[in-house]
Amino acid sequence: MASKIDFKLDEAIEVLSRTPAVLRAMLDGLPEHWTSNNYGPETFSPFDVVGHLIHADEVNWIERAEQILQTQDAEPFPPFDRYAMYEASRGKTLSQLLDEFERVRKQRLSDLASLEINDAQLELPGKHPAFDAVKLRELLATWVVHDMNHIHQVAKCLAHQYREAVGPWKEYLSILPK
């Protein structure tokens, strides 16, 4: 079994900085039917994922980090609208969203660096509306894993488009439902 990796802010920033390029490599230039379909009810399409990541970067991670640094757990974080991207992305192309995500992510990582968070501050408490007590370290680690979750979701959406085309190999492809 692999050992766990302790959270390190500089490494988290390295991972977060790569997500826009990963999604661009996976999605940019694909026909719309590849990027606008999901893999079932209540799932996001790749287009939706990019919009969701933009929205999360714009209103969630840094704002919550700043709240922890300023007031700790005095008040719960404001709720996050996980579906706001539907309205915000309307009328945009995937290429435009990928450009926007790259720009927004770069700015938010710059904002994160400007906070000059030290190891002691990573242990400061915040108050999540559903989970209650959380630490700044957990919030920032969640940002990284949130990206990985949605990269996985994009890969699953893309794989789902060929779910029938793979024939009997479906049995060996864990990304596809059995």
Q: Say what the pLDDT of residue 177 is.
A: 78
| CATH number of the domain to which 59 belongs | 1.20.120.450
Which 8-state DSSP code applies to residue 28?
T
Q: Is residue 115 one of the residues assigned to a domain?
A: yes
| Count: domains in the chain | 1
- pTM of the predicted structure, to 2 decimals: 0.93
- Rounded Cα gap, residues 2 and 167, in angstroms: 33
DSSP line for 131-145: TEEEEHHHHHHHHHH
Distance, first Cα to last Cα, the chain: 26
Q: Is residue 100 one of the residues assigned to a domain?
A: yes
Q: Is residue 48 one of the residues assigned to a domain?
A: yes
Q: Is residue 3 one of the residues assigned to a domain?
A: no
Q: Is residue 2 one of the residues assigned to a domain?
A: no
Q: Is residue 111 one of the residues assigned to a domain?
A: yes
Q: Tell me the pLDDT tens digit for each residue of 20-64.
A: 999 999 999 999 999 999 988 889 999 999 999 999 999 999 999
Q: Tell me the pLDDT tens digit for each residue of 148-174.
A: 999 999 999 999 999 999 999 999 999
Domain residues for 139?
9-27+44-159
20 near 61, Cβ under 8 Å? no
* H or E element that contains 27: helix 9-27
